Amino acid sequence: MANFETRTSNEDGRTVVRLAGECDLAARDELTSVLMAAVAGANIVVVDMGGLTFLDSTGIHGLVTAHHAARRAGGRLYLVNATGMVANVLDITGVGELLRAPADDGAPSRQ
């Protein structure tokens, strides 16, 4: 079983979800649950991917699902601090650009 952890906190008027470890099929339900709870409770959700070492299509699906839920609720979900293989997957799929935090949002940049 893959190592996957989430931590959620409220900082500066937004919810920050920190991901660590490997986000794959085994982590799908936990990721989706945590992200959906975050977007239900905050207008701005920042997903800090700095501790993530692996991301597959199920993780991408969870991120996009939460993004759509946030948009329907009038909120936003952004990704920050992705590096290495995780950043490559986000870039190849276009999700990195879709969920990039705007420069004036105050969130740390993804790269």
Residue 38 is part of a domain; what is its CATH number? 3.30.750.24
Q: Give the distance from CA 80 to its chain's centroid.
A: 8
Residue 110 included in any domain: no
Residue 61 included in any domain: yes
Domain that holds residue 78: 4-105
Contact 35, 61 (CB under 8 A): no
Task: Give the pLDDT confidence score for residue 103 in this predicted structure.
Answer: 78
| Number of domains making up the chain | 1
- pLDDT, one tens digit per residue, over 32-85 is 999 999 999 999 999 999 999 999 999 999 999 999 999 999 999 999 999 999
Contact 96, 102 (CB under 8 A): no
Beta bridge partners of 46: 16, 78
Residue 20 included in any domain: yes
Nearest CA-CA partner of 75 in 103, 42, 33 = 42
**pTM metric for this prediction:** 0.89
